[in-house]
Copies of this chain bind each other. A is one copy, B any other.
């Protein structure tokens, strides 16, 4: 249960949830990625052959908070996920294993970043809500490998989340965004810059039309609000996170969605196909460098790196494979 709230790429395996209770894991224990608690529990129950009995019907659903309340179901889960004395593995991971783990960590890391953004948290003020936005400006630098023209710098407003409405239900859902993105050159077109324009505009909140049985922007016949962002063809994964919000929150959420995006840690990530810029940071706590942040770029020349104009130099790019 001990984790410092801060998401760091460095703390690494902790991003992968415990296969037993879902808490942050601390490594592979008895063959399974588990937390310290479940590891210790499994060891103890094997040392002393106590028999636990479930007060209910062996169907308790475990999580990090209630895991200690039903040892019977906890042990059952431990065995079910494959924990075993015979499955222990010592020593350093092989490079292959490491790669595989990296992929898993990357996935959960991105998912966590995403979930973190999607959260609706009460603020210090009574009754108010702090809404964290899953939509952010994403500054990306790339070089067209095929034409070998000089690099273009693009500020993409990635509408990574969708704010959705159903009669009686409002929710945000977001495809999980990769931490680094690798685009094949073929997907790099000249249209992306155009999309940044859209983020500057504010749309009125659509309302549900009982007659038309659909959401529509008042005064407009076409509910075209998010149609532009669909053309971005971002390499999103099929996984997505969803958070329901109340009708009241929806107003606030919508307002933020309709506002031009602010600074984001992802501004610090410069990725091109298979190459990662040397300035890319390992650690990406949300909100870092908030004061240094620049607004959405208006033109390629606006792009800045740590307050100074970005200069593209070949030696700053290294293979993405070694970047992690």
| Chain A residues packing against B (C-beta within 8 Å) | 1-2, 4-5, 37, 65-66, 68, 86-91, 94, 96-97
Contact = CB atoms under 8 A, between A and B. Distances in A.
16 contacts: A1-B89, A1-B91, A2-B94, A2-B96, A2-B97, A4-B94, A4-B96, A5-B96, A37-B90, A37-B91, A65-B86, A65-B87, A65-B88, A66-B86, A68-B88, A68-B90
Contacts of A94: 2, 4
A2 B86 CA distance: 17
A97 B66 CA distance: 20
The secondary-structure label for the interface of chain A is: loop
**Total copies of the chain:** 2
A74 to B, nearest CB: 13
A87 B94 CA distance: 29
A86 B69 CA distance: 10
A37 B94 CA distance: 13
- Residue with the greatest number of chain B CB neighbours at <10 A, chosen from A5, A37, A91, A97: A91
Contacts of A87: 65
Nearest to A89: B1
